[in-house]
């Protein structure tokens, strides 16, 4: 006697060795012996042998149509063996073991038509449920056909029409539930290309620049970079602001339009000087919780990249509040009383209108105002005496802090992109490097440190909440507590000097304005809005900075190709990581021999990948020169 039974969801056939009522000892066709519960037995039979039953039944089941079976079955629950007798048998003749097993296989392979109700028992699906299930199967079939069609088009480097409105999400945040994503993944596997390279080959991505720029906009500006309609900002109603007596001037790069800070110097006979640090006051024109505040709150900072920028505030606000030459501008001013020995003996803060006499630019000043000209005697230049006085004050402040205002030995890089960024491949990039710690750098940096630390101390003393930048125990963080900034050597440091470009500075300016007016500040202690703005700013500011570094890397790679650079010098940072000369570009060189940090080497530029921003270089030789240890420590730090 043979038996058909179910084990772990699969059908098995075997010879009965012993029948113990509740269980059987069975030897399967493979020779394996097993104990089978009687409840798991589906059929007892005498012919054919276990090794042939399932093989013969599978051949027979292939000829049974599920739709016809469903038509034949009754509405009640049934056993497969009884149904087999009706389907195959005749008067007084039951179905054979092969026929019964074939029907069982056909029922099990048609779960849409027949629902399992137990071992060997079934019930046909109600007509409405069957219709819905069949429609679902047809939908899946059509979807599979669509995926295969799109996969074929992509593999042939043609863009399917469905892809055009979904490109950004497919590239930067693919949803695997979408058919287009499945097709793209299948095409990538078929062609061996990444999604970006495949879509580039299909003409969906016009350039690597567009690929990187679109990723940033998709992640940070999903609604676009345009500003909503808004009323032109205006100073609040009330008495006019008092006019400052000083003539102020700013110092910025040529491309700067959001001019946040300016300086003035007035001689105080018998005392020394009154030095003014004047900060633009958009906080007077943009009210907390206003529509313009919501715009600034959503952006949190101006975004910088070579050749372009995305401002935090609309152009009308920038134009109305920037410290532009030839205008009287609203400002928050910090006046320092400075002795001939450049000691600060007093300070005073005011809200006033300041006349901006000039917007001085770095590229005009630095050839005339630098370490060499200061040592030899300054030539004629605008605000010569004022600049020298401010530089001497900055030097004294730096000595008192005991910290440099800039990392010595490190370079800043300026990028100028000539051409229309709509066609970046036709643009030409110029990259210039400028060593930090120049007299102009020191002048501006030190006075900003004075302003931010002084106003941070004022807010802390008055008990007005603010957002501070702190550095303690080697960890930099933003906080609402006036903690020390050990890196700058100040007791507290509140960002307040760039309110046109950073939301934290604008927020702190609102608090400072309220403090100077004697009004209640808009943000109370332990304000949830204050904490949320601090957290969001920190995350967003870092994301913007990462994007800027990525775009600088892109244009640095473009410069290598533009200039036809085949070999280039580099400085070893650590292990096989090097910093290329003349560029803010780090790269790992697999062929680099063991070298000490600071060792100078020459490399061959072999491959540049603009999509991945990867650079492949090959070691050529070790140079005799070595970067000094102190300078290298600053570079690595």
What is the model's pLDDT at position 501? 96
* % of the chain exceeding 70 in pLDDT: 97
Nearest Cα to 382, choosing from 369, 397, 395, 400?
369
What is the model's pLDDT at position 347? 96
Show Cβ contacts of residue 461 under 8 Å, excluding neighbours closer than 6 positions.
Answer: none
Spatial distance between the Cα atoms of 576 and 599, rounded to a whole number of angstroms: 11
User: Is residue 310 a part of any domain in this protein?
Assistant: yes
Statement to judge: residues 289 and 384 lie in one domain: yes
Statement to judge: residues 387 and 531 lie in one domain: yes
What is the model's pLDDT at position 411? 74
Spatial distance between the Cα atoms of 593 and 174, rounded to a whole number of angstroms: 41
Q: What is the DSSP letter of 162?
A: G
Over range 74-99, report the average pLDDT: 89
- Of the three residues 488, 514, 545, the one that is the final residue of a domain is 545
Statement to judge: residues 267 and 309 lie in one domain: yes
Q: Provide the CATH number for the domain around residue 50.
A: 2.30.30.360
Q: Provide the CATH number for the domain around residue 581.
A: 2.40.50.640
Cβ count near 306 (within 10 Å): 22
pLDDT(631) > 70: no
Residues 562, 429 contacting (CB under 8 angstroms)? yes
Statement to judge: residues 25 and 97 lie in one domain: yes
What is the model's pLDDT at position 636? 43
Phi then psi for residue 19, to 5 deg, are -115, 110
What is the model's pLDDT at position 133? 93
Statement to judge: residues 525 and 402 lie in one domain: yes
Spatial distance between the Cα atoms of 15 and 5, rounded to a whole number of angstroms: 11
Structural domain range at position 402: 243-545
Statement to judge: residues 487 and 631 lie in one domain: no
User: Is residue 381 a part of any domain in this protein?
Assistant: yes
User: Is residue 158 a part of any domain in this protein?
Assistant: yes
What is the model's pLDDT at position 405? 61
User: Is residue 560 a part of any domain in this protein?
Assistant: no
Statement to judge: residues 100 and 169 lie in one domain: no
Buried/exposed 355-369: b ≥16 CB within 10 Å, e otherwise: bbbebbebeebeeeb
Cα–Cα distances in Å, from 164 out to 75, 170, 199, 220, 595?
50, 10, 11, 21, 50
Over range 43-70, report the average pLDDT: 92
User: What is the domain count for the chain?
Assistant: 4
Over range 89-93, report the average pLDDT: 76
Residue, of 44 and 30, whose pLDDT is higher: 44
pLDDT(196) > 90: yes
pLDDT digits (tens, 9 = 90+) for 289-329: 999 999 999 999 999 999 999 999 999 999 999 999 999 99
Q: What is the pTM of this model?
A: 0.81
Question: Which residues are registered as beta bridge partners of 475?
Answer: 472
pLDDT digits (tens, 9 = 90+) for 328-364: 999 999 999 999 999 999 999 999 999 999 999 998 9
Q: Give the rounded distance of the alpha carbon of 404 from its chain centre.
A: 32
Q: Beta strands 344-361 and 243-252: pairing type?
A: parallel
Residues 205, 196 contacting (CB under 8 angstroms)? yes
Statement to judge: residues 278 and 404 lie in one domain: yes
Cα–Cα distances in Å, from 401 out to 62, 106, 150, 333?
89, 87, 65, 22
What is the model's pLDDT at position 633? 46
Spatial distance between the Cα atoms of 407 and 397, rounded to a whole number of angstroms: 16
Token pair for 107: 């029922």
pLDDT digits (tens, 9 = 90+) for 487-543: 899 999 999 999 999 999 999 999 999 999 999 999 998 899 999 999 999 999 999
Q: Give the rounded distance of the alpha carbon of 609 from its chain centre.
A: 20
* % of the chain exceeding 90 in pLDDT: 83
Statement to judge: residues 174 and 272 lie in one domain: no
Helix (DSSP H) and strand (DSSP E) numbers for the chain = 19, 24
User: Is residue 494 a part of any domain in this protein?
Assistant: yes
Over range 579-584, report the average pLDDT: 94
Question: Which residues are registered as beta bridge partners of 316?
Answer: none
Statement to judge: residues 281 and 391 lie in one domain: yes
> Predicted confidence band at 632 (pLDDT cuts at 50, 70, 90)?
very low
pLDDT digits (tens, 9 = 90+) for 219-272: 999 999 999 988 777 777 778 999 999 999 999 988 899 999 999 999 999 999
User: Is residue 259 a part of any domain in this protein?
Assistant: yes
Q: What is the DSSP letter of 524?
A: -
**Vertex 386, ends 498 and 254: CA angle to 5°?**
45
pLDDT(548) > 80: yes
Statement to judge: residues 273 and 393 lie in one domain: yes
Return the HEC string of 426-483.
Answer: HCEEEEEEEECCCHHHHHHHHHHHHHHHHHHHHHHHHCCCCCEEEEECCEEEEECCCC
Statement to judge: residues 390 and 500 lie in one domain: yes
Residues 193, 201 contacting (CB under 8 angstroms)? yes
pLDDT(637) > 80: no
Spatial distance between the Cα atoms of 123 and 78, rounded to a whole number of angstroms: 6
Cβ count near 577 (within 10 Å): 15
Residues 217, 221, 222, 224: is their CA dihedral positive or negative? negative
Q: Beta strands 2-7 and 41-45: pairing type?
A: antiparallel
What is the model's pLDDT at position 369? 93
Over range 188-201, report the average pLDDT: 95
- Of the three residues 205, 233, 266, the one that is the final residue of a domain is 205
Show Cβ contacts of residue 431 under 8 Å, excluding neighbours closer than 6 positions.
Answer: 413, 414, 415, 416, 555, 556, 559, 582, 583
Edge-first strand order for the sheet with 586-588 is: 586-588, 577-580, 567-574, 599-609, 614-626
> Predicted confidence band at 158 (pLDDT cuts at 50, 70, 90)?
very high
- Of the three residues 545, 578, 598, the one that is the final residue of a domain is 545
Spatial distance between the Cα atoms of 313 and 282, rounded to a whole number of angstroms: 10
> Predicted confidence band at 406 (pLDDT cuts at 50, 70, 90)?
low
Token pair for 203: 């003409």
> Predicted confidence band at 624 (pLDDT cuts at 50, 70, 90)?
confident
What is the model's pLDDT at position 635? 47
Spatial distance between the Cα atoms of 560 and 549, rounded to a whole number of angstroms: 17
């Amino acid at each position: 006697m043979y038996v058909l039974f179910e084990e772990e969801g699969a059908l098995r056939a075997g010879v009965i060795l012993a029948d113990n009522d509740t269980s059987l000892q069975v030897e399967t066709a493979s020779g394996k012996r097993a104990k089978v519960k009687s409840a798991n037995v589906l059929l007892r039979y005498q012919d054919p042998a276990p090794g042939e039953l399932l093989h013969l039944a599978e051949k027979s089941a292939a000829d049974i149509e599920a739709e016809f079976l469903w038509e034949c079955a009754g509405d009640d629950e049934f056993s497969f063996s009884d149904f087999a007798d009706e389907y195959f048998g005749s008067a007084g003749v039951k179905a054979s073991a092969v026929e019964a097993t074939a029907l069982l296989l056909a029922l099990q392979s048609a779960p849409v038509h027949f629902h399992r109700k137990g071992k060997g028992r079934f019930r046909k699906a109600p007509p409405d449920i069957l219709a819905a299930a069949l429609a679902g199967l047809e939908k899946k079939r059509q979807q599979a056909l669509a995926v295969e069609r799109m996969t074929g088009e992509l593999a042939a480097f043609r863009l399917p029409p469905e892809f055009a409105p979904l490109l950004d999400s497919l590239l930067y945040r693919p949803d695997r539930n979408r058919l287009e994503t499945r097709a793209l993944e299948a095409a990538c596997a078929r062609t061996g290309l990444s999604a970006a390279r495949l879509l580039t080959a299909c003409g969906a991505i016009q350039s690597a620049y567009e690929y990187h720029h679109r990723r940033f906009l998709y992640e940070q500006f999903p609604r676009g970079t345009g500003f909503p309609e808004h009323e032109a900002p205006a100073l609040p109603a009330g008495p006019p602001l008092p006019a400052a007596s000083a003539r102020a001037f700013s110092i910025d790069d040529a491309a700067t339009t959001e001019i946040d800070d300016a300086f003035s110097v007035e001689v105080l006979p018998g005392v020394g000087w009154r030095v003014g640090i004047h900060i633009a006051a958009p906080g007077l024109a943009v009210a907390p919780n206003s529509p313009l505040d919501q715009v600034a709150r959503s952006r949190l900072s101006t975004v910088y990249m070579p050749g372009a920028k995305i401002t935090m505030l609309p152009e009308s606000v920038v134009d109305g509040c920037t410290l532009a030459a030839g205008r009287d501008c609203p400002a928050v001013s910090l006046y320092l009383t400075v002795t001939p020995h450049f000691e600060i003996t007093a300070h005073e803060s005011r809200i006033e209108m300041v006349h901006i006499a000039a917007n001085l630019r770095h590229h005009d000043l630095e050839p005339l105002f630098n370490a060499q000209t200061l040592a030899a005697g300054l030539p004629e230049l605008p605000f010569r005496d004022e600049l020298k006085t401010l530089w001497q004050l900055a030097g004294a402040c730096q000595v008192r802090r005991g910290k440099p205002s800039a990392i010595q030995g490190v370079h800043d890089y300026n990028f100028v992109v000539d051409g229309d960024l709509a066609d970046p491949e036709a643009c030409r990039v110029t990259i210039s490097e400028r060593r930090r710690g120049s007299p102009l750098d020191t002048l501006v940096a030190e006075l900003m440190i004075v302003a931010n630390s002084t106003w941070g101390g004022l807010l802390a003393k008055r008990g007005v909440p603010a957002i501070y930048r702190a550095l303690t125990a080697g960890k930099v963080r933003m906080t609402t507590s006036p903690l020390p900034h050990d890196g700058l050597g100040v007791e507290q440091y509140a960002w307040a000097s760039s309110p046109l470009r950073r939301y934290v500075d604008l927020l702190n300016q609102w608090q400072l304005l309220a403090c100077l007016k004697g009004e209640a500040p808009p943000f109370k202690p332990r304000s949830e809005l204050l904490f949320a703005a601090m957290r969001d700013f920190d995350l967003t500011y870092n994301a913007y900075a990462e994007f800027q570094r990525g775009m600088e890397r892109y244009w640095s790679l473009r410069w290598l190709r533009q200039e036809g650079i085949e070999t280039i010098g580099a400085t070893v940072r650590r292990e096989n990581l090097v910093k290329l000369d003349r560029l803010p570009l780090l790269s790992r060189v697999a062929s680099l021999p063991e070298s000490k940090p600071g060792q100078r080497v020459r490399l061959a530029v072999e491959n540049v990948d603009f999509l991945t921003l990867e650079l492949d270089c090959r070691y050529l030789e070790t140079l005799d020169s070595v970067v000094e240890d102190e300078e290298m420590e600053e570079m690595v730090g």
